[in-house]
Amino acid sequence: MDSKKGQEQEIIKKHLLKYFQSNKSAKWFYEEVVKKNNLDLFSLIDHITFRTKQVSGRFAEFSRIGYQPFGKRIESGSWWLQVYRHKDPHSGFPAIVLDQPADGFLTHYHEGGRIIDSWVSAFGDNEIHHTAFKVVNLECATKQFNSRGVPINWESFAEDKNTGLKQVFTIPQKKDGISHTVLELIERPLGCVDLIVGNTNILVSSTK
């Protein structure tokens, strides 16, 4: 591996290691599944999500290490997101997702924008909100997580009937009494490149 790519990887890994320390479910997964089996961490991750009040500013860190926007921003009522992928499609780097409240979110009927805004006010925008791990079969994976004492938040379950994409969060980890980080499991059918489903507000609402 060239040194530039190594340095770029270290920036993402630094964020991930901090996240693993902040979330018991993620820490268990990292220690017991990834490290013990000597698995390649990046190859297991579908995407990493940060919350921010200004996507354009937050993107600067990732722009410097080779990320670029992937598709148009995705509107979700009171909030929106932008997906970024590394410009080298063979880099193996996970996608980055940045969430931001939409203009006028305070008066929007949906609470997603308020949840994201409050989260950033509490924790800033320099740490991961959630990491999504790829699974072949979401139901089987959640059974394994449950058997290890990692609670799945079924209220967050979201499915796109058109593509077959399925996503679910763990119960939020609290910090200072406030919901902080979650772990996501994602079942992505072959050929499905979307990162979002029509009912994605379910996911955000589950993190309050």
Please report, as ranges, the residues that interact with Fe ion according to CB under 5 A. Answer: 49, 132, 184
Residue 11 C-beta: closest distance to Fe ion, Å: 20
Task: Give the residue with the Cβ less far from Fe ion, 86 or 130.
Answer: 130
CA-to-CA dists, residue 8 to 34, 61, 93, 128, angstroms: 20, 10, 9, 17
Least gap, CB of 7 to Fe ion (angstroms): 26
Find the distance separating the first CA and the last CA of the chain, reported in whole Å: 41
Q: What region, left, alpha or beta, does residue 101 occupy, with left being phi > 0 and alpha being psi -120 to 50 degrees?
A: beta
Residue 46 CB, shortest distance to Fe ion, in Å, is 8
Output 8 or 46, the one with its CB closest to Fe ion.
46
Residue 164: which of 142, 188, 180 has the closest Cα? 188
CB of 5 or CB of 123, closer to Fe ion:
123
User: Which residue, 65 or 195, is less far from Fe ion as judged by CB?
Assistant: 195
- Residue 6 CB, nearest approach to Fe ion (Å): 26
